[in-house]
Structure formats: structure tokens, C-alpha cells
């Protein structure tokens, strides 16, 4: 059945997006062991919204996507020309567009556990026939988690233990790797104060300013047993 809709900015009589018959065999399965839902929207194609539920290695989520279309204008007299986009192109675009630019992701051996398989498959079929792909996705995701943990350690040290420097994805990474980190605690919002020497914002729980190294709370420093060169 054709899908008809108005094309913005043109007469409804001349400018209609008419979608032709869809190939029922054009299917691709996206598999996710990533523990967060993905809601990817592509405004230039139809259908253009794709939701990938959260998954895990033991219970991966699978979503079967079909082809989409976009429309090209030829001239003012002819109908808009439909340009089909295959399901495998759609699946590849969903994963790359979501992952590209994520902190710590190199789009190679360290990235969220997402991949696609040409064809339509359920969870049982994926586990049975594509276990090697699941294993490879797990390795890539754990590499990404390790990178996030290293970045979190660095940010924690540089920010003098400011919990606002640690993202939820970093805490998830440590949890998934079964690591215990100080920055994994459920911190409440810390009311920051300004350094007496340079004016930078700092965590009052720590006596030394991370910016200028001035001692803002000598009593706290003494309590912690900190000594400083004269």
C-alpha cells in the first residue's frame, strides 16, 4: 500500500511523497548487548525513527529493520522521485551515527556492543548461529568500558574528586567490569565554593585548590595528614 504525505513548502497537489511497494525480503537485524535504549531519529527518510531496546550478552535485544526512502525534486512539474535506501544501509547508518563521537569510542575495537546481520532473525537464531558476533561485540564493548574507566580515573584526579566530572556511562562501565571505584558512589550534588586565592570553583571536601594549589582549609589538610613543601 502506498504512503502519501505532503512535501513541506510545495503545493499538496503537485508535491506528494508517494512511497512505492516495499520489498518484503529486504530485512536486516540489529543486535544490541548495549545496556541502554537507543532512540535514533533520521528526519530525511521515511520511516525515520528507530528504537533499539537495551540488551546484554546473556539477553541481547534484536530489532528487524526494513528499507526506507527519501525523495528528490526533479522540477516543478513532475512528482517527487522516490530514492529507496536498503535495510542494510539503514542498519549500518543507525549504528555508525549513534556511536560516532561517543566519548572513548574509536569505531573499531572499542565501541558499544552493536552489530547487524542481513536478514530477519530472532534472539534464539542469533545466539545459535551468530555467537561469534556476540563474542566479538562483547570484546569491543569491554574495551570501550576500559577506556571510559581510564578517562574517569583521570577526570576524578584532575577535578579533585568532583562527582560532576563523572558521567553515567563511566559509572555503568565500571559496574559492567565489576570494578570498585570511589567515583562510583551515589553522590548528591556537591555545593561548590570559590578558592580564596584564584576564585576557581572547588569541592569543599578537599582542602587544596586543583587549579592554583592553594590550601583553602589548613585544618582539613592537617586532619588528612597532608604535608606541603615550604
Rg of the chain on CA atoms, in Å: 26
User: Between these two residues, 53 and 2, which has the higher pLDDT value?
Assistant: 53
Confidence at residue 14, expressed as pLDDT on a 0 to 100 scale: 57
Alpha carbon distance 36, 190 (integer Å)? 27
- What is the band of 30 on the pLDDT scale with cuts at 50, 70, 90? very high
Mean pLDDT of the chain: 87
Mean pLDDT of 136-161: 95
Confidence at residue 186, expressed as pLDDT on a 0 to 100 scale: 58
Alpha carbon distance 155, 163 (integer Å)? 9
What count of other Cβ atoms lies within 10 Å of the Cβ of residue 193?
13
H helices present in 30-182, as ranges: 87-99, 123-129, 131-158, 168-176
Inform me whether the pLDDT recorded for 203 exceeds 80.
Answer: no
Amino acid at each position: 500500500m502506498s504512503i502519501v504525505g505532503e512535501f513541506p513548502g510545495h503545493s499538496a497537489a503537485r508535491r506528494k511523497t508517494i512511497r512505492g511497494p516495499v520489498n518484503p525480503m529486504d530485512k536486516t537485524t540489529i543486535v544490541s548487548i548495549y545496556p541502554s535504549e537507543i532512540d535514533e531519529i533520521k528526519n530525511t527518510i521515511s520511516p525515520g525513527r528507530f528504537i533499539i531496546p537495551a540488551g546484554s550478552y546473556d539477553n541481547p535485544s534484536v530489532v528487524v529493520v526494513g528499507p526506507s526512502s527519501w525523495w528528490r525534486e526533479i522540477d516543478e512539474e513532475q512528482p517527487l522521485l522516490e530514492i529507496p535506501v536498503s535495510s542494510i544501509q539503514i542498519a549500518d547508518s543507525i549504528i555508525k551515527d549513534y556511536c560516532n563521537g561517543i566519548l572513548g569510542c574509536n569505531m573499531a575495537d572499542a565501541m558499544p556492543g552493536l552489530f547487524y546481520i542481513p536478514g530477519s532473525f530472532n534472539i534464539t537464531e542469533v545466539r545459535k548461529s551468530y555467537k561469534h558476533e556476540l563474542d566479538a561485540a562483547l570484546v569491543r564493548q569491554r574495551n570501550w568500558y576500559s577506556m571510559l574507566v581510564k578517562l574517569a580515573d583521570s577526570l576524578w584526579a584532575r577535578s579533585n574528586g568532583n562527582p560532576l566530572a563523572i558521567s553515567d556511562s563511566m559509572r555503568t562501565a565500571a559496574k559492567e567490569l565489576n570494578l570498585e571505584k570511589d567515583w562510583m558512589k551515589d553522590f548528591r550534588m556537591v555545593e561548590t565554593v570559590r578558592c580564596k586565592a584564584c576564585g576557581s570553583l572547588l569541592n569543599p571536601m578537599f582542602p587544596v585548590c586543583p587549579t592554583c594549589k592553594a590550601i583553602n582549609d589548613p585544618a582539613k589538610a592537617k586532619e588528612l595528614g597532608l604535608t606541603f613543601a615550604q
